[in-house]
Amino acid sequence: MNPTNLPRISVVTLSFNQAPFLEAALASLHDQAYPALEHIVVDPGSTDGSREILERWRPRLAQLILDPDKGPADGLNKGFAAATGEIFGYINADDLALPGSLAAVATYFAATPGLGQLLGQGCIINRAGQHVRAAGCSRLSLADFGHGAMTYLQQAHYFSKNAFQAAGGFNPENRTCWDAELLIDMTLAGALTPALNVPDQLGAFRLYGDTITGSGRMAQRMALDIARLTEKALGRPPRPLDLLEAPARLLARRLRSPAATLTGLTSRLRPNPAQS
């Protein structure tokens, strides 16, 4: 690619009391030296030293938004409202962008006019940053999603500004799986917009006891959100035959991508502390 004509990638990082991991998250983006990175950090009120870290990094950030918000999805919406890039992505303060990911994302978008969503691969890491297992995105399919047969790694998901705006951004009422709902909403809003699955390693999801997924807190609310997203993806309420279709779709997905993680989307989001 021509270095003088690189697409701008706007990455939003949501920071809230994750000081032990924050610097690694910031460095994972900036160490790539991608010249057209627009990095926006949103911190609604950390009290653990994160604000001091962010002040040190402020010269390298496009924007630092320190306003209170109404939850994670609302904070991300604030960040993306300030973004000016053609390509959007988000890396949380305890996760990582993998080396070379931004250049790879830019290359795919430049080579695929009108691309709406890019879904890559990555891994799960533990609190210490050690590799736990492979993870990634399988084929984008609302039917697979609705039957629990789609894998999804938010840290390996990038999308166009147009796709994000067509979906109306994040649902601020969703406090458990706002990332998965955005995926569905963008897909529903852009039925004719192409999505691309790629084999590149783009992101790492840090799974540990304090995360929503790792701790199992908000379990009841998460179960309700997952049920609602299942209906949204399928376009209808569940029906008895789904019990037969779900394992068939899961088997088909594994046969298509035998090396992919065996953790399905709904399993990843299920409020089960033992899944880590």
How many domains does the chain divide into? 1
Query: What CATH number does residue 127 fall under?
Result: 3.90.550.10
- Write out the H or E segment, with its range, that includes residue 157: strand 157-160
Nearest one of 107, 87, 73 to 39, comparing CA atoms? 87
Which two three-digit tokens encode residue 29? Answer: 């983006």
CA distance 126 to 207: 5
Parent domain of 202:
3-275
Residue 174 in contact with residue 73, Cβ under 8 Å? Answer: yes
Mean pLDDT of 216-220: 73
Cβ neighbours of 96 (radius 10 Å): 23
pLDDT at 263 over 90: no
- Sorting pLDDT into bands at 50, 70 and 90, what band is 107? very high
Q: Chain centroid to CA 214: how far?
A: 16
pLDDT in tens, 194-211: 899 999 999 999 998 765
Exposure of 128 by Cβ count < 10 A (0-12 exposed, 13-18 middle, 19+ buried)? exposed
